Structure 1
Amino acid sequence: MLRVALTHLILFLLPFFCYALWLWLTKRSQHPDRWAKGPLAWLTVTGLVFVIVGFLVMSTFNRGPEGTDYRPTQMKDGVFVPGGFE
């Protein structure tokens, strides 16, 4: 679960990182007041689009083998029995 959360966090922050890198490489600076009007809104929307696409890609490609069912982790007799595909 942590891998999924980190993947989507990175996808969301990717546009912000790219914009900061572009500002650094071009030696431009933006006044903080301008962030509220333009780049911040577009970067947020782009980050959310990346996260949605990431959800779709992960749900498409992270599946178990065909013809099997997922059995979640269970507790039996006080011991955790790992889950998996059966």
Structure 2
Amino acid sequence: MIRTLLIEAALFLTPFVIYGAILMATRGSLVPANWSARAVLVCALAAVALMALGLFVFEADKGAPPGSRYVPAQMKDGVFVPGRYE
């Protein structure tokens, strides 16, 4: 669980860090006055898109492993057959 939260936090912060690096390279400062509202909005939208993509990519394959289908307990011909994995 903590790994998923850390991955999502890193994906969210990535656009802001990249924009900050661009500001440092071009203007030499991270003064809040240099952060335009449009740039912050674009970073926020990119962050949400990265988080959604990350959730899809990292969590999509967490199904049951092959060969581990559960068959519930049942009665067959008057005999109780306990539940099992196949």
> Normalising to structure 2: TM-score of the pair?
0.65
Q: Calculate the aligned-residue CA RMSD, in Å.
A: 2.4
- C-alpha displacement at 1:23, in angstroms? 0.8
What CA deviation, in whole Å up to 9, does each residue of 1:40-59 have, x standing for no partner? 11101100000000000012
Is the CA contact 2:12–2:47 (under 8 Å) kept in the aligned structure 1? yes
Count of residue pairs the alignment pairs up: 70
- The alpha-carbon distance between structure 1 residues 43 and 67, as it changes in their structure 2 partners (threshold 3 A), is same
Please state how far the C-alpha of 1:27 moved relative to its aligned partner.
2.5
Partners of 2:29 and 2:38 in 1: how far apart? Answer: 14
Runs of 4 or more above 6 Å deviation? none
Q: Corresponding residue for 2:39? A: 39
Whose Rg is larger?
A: 2
Tell me, in whole angstroms, the C-alpha distance in 1 between the residues paired with 2:66 and 2:18: 39
Compute the TM-score of the two structures, normalised by the length of structure 1. 0.65
Alignment-derived partner of residue 67 in structure 1: 67
One-letter identity of the residue aligned with 1:56: F
Among the aligned pairs, what percent are the same residue? 26
